[in-house]
Amino acid sequence: MTTYTVRPLNRPVDADVAVPGSKSITNRALLLAALANGESVLENALFSEDSHWFSESLRRMGIVVWEDAAHATMTVRGEGGTFPEKTADCFVGNSGTTARFMVAAAALGRGDYRFDGVPRMRQRPIAPLLDALRPLGTRFSFEADADCFPLIVHGEGLRGGETTLDAAASSQYLTGLLMAAPYAEGDVTIRLAGELVSEPYIDMTIRMMAQFGVQVSMGKGVFMTRTGGRYRAQRYIIEPDASNATYFFAAAALCGGRVRVPNLPALSLQGDVGFVDVLAQMGCAVTKTAEYIEVQGTGTLHGVDVDMNAISDTAQTLAAIAPFADSPVRIRNIGHIRHKETDRIHAAVNELKRLGVDAEEFSDGLIIQPSVVHPAEVQTYDDHRMAMAFSVIGLRAEGITIANPECTAKTFPDFFQRFESLYT
């Protein structure tokens, strides 16, 4: 399939949509289980390109991972903070979580671990993480540009101590450091330099570390782990992906009717459940329980001016429904998403303009005016979120075709099959 043509939905939606497991939780759980001592079973795990590159990197470093896609389970035999292989060649695709988490974890090993990815990954920033690992005793070498992929981690174990991290480009640097830090030879103190973006993902990391048995101490801009903390092997259930649920919630907002996502709890680990609060500001009714989240829309949307720094993976979803609002929609404080799979601000504005929408980009965001959407083929920039978010537009506008729909395999391989359930 080289394109996907969206059919307008000429009635309110009425659907319960089962969303696969969270990519962010799956990849964190894979590493925590690998560092634990013993066997963990991850249930409702996500099977996608990103989780494939993560589990494959673990295998190359000597961690046994069994996968049962039919039952959405992964079984990981943790090695207690060590990696049996002394050399490994790991390919991370375009998975930022794999790149940042595994590079930090490789510092715990005793060997040389090479990491590379697709051409876009060679452009995505990694230097702040490397700069934070060096004072903790990690060395690196590079095959091309300094502080870029492809690189080799010369693991000698983390010695502990204090380091400074610039997390303005990605919260994944801090997550990688935090998850590896309990296995350092001494306590680790991480001091942040500047702004921390996507803070709910750090909350997720710290909560998951606690679920696996390790506590993180926090102060203002300071995070500390004690040496000797150890993760516990366990059975762990992964929540549905809140970021990927937003496309279905947006369908209810745009078309009217209701969409419920089962097993996504109000007290989710994932900050992106906050997207439904934006929909509430736009006029939707939102129900949150311990068993599900549901959005009911009227088909009428009000404009908003919203800071989406904390839920930036949902910015494209909001951009997709914004032309149908009755007043402008402004999305602010998301400059860091220019360094994702693509420059997401520029890509979103480009494609909105292709559809005839009045949209303008700024250094850290965009503004979208109420507009009549014209038929066009949406370019997706090999970015799964562009493909999924812009599909929603076609539920209200004729002639919307999505180029390269296969790119959704990164986090949601069967997205379009589940999207079709909105029509039944």
Q: Which residues are annotated as catalytic?
A: 313
Residue 128 near residue 150 (C-beta atoms within 8 A):
no
Comparing CA positions, the residue from 114, 172, 113, 168 lying closest to residue 144 is 114
DSSP string for 189-205: EEEE-SPPPSHHHHHHH
Q: Which residues contact 3 (CB under 8 A, 6 or more apart)?
A: 377, 401, 402, 403, 404, 405
Residue type, 151: L
How far, CA to CA in Å, does 120 sit from each of 148, 339, 380, 382? 11, 10, 14, 10
Residue 209 near residue 32 (C-beta atoms within 8 A):
yes
Residue 159 near residue 186 (C-beta atoms within 8 A):
yes
How far, CA to CA in Å, does 63 sit from each of 33, 169, 172, 232, 308? 10, 30, 22, 16, 37
Distance between CA atoms of residues 419 and 410, nearest Å: 16
CB hemisphere CA count around 129 (13 angstroms): 30
Please give the structure tokens belonging to residue 378: 């949406």
**H or E element, residue 360:** strand 359-362
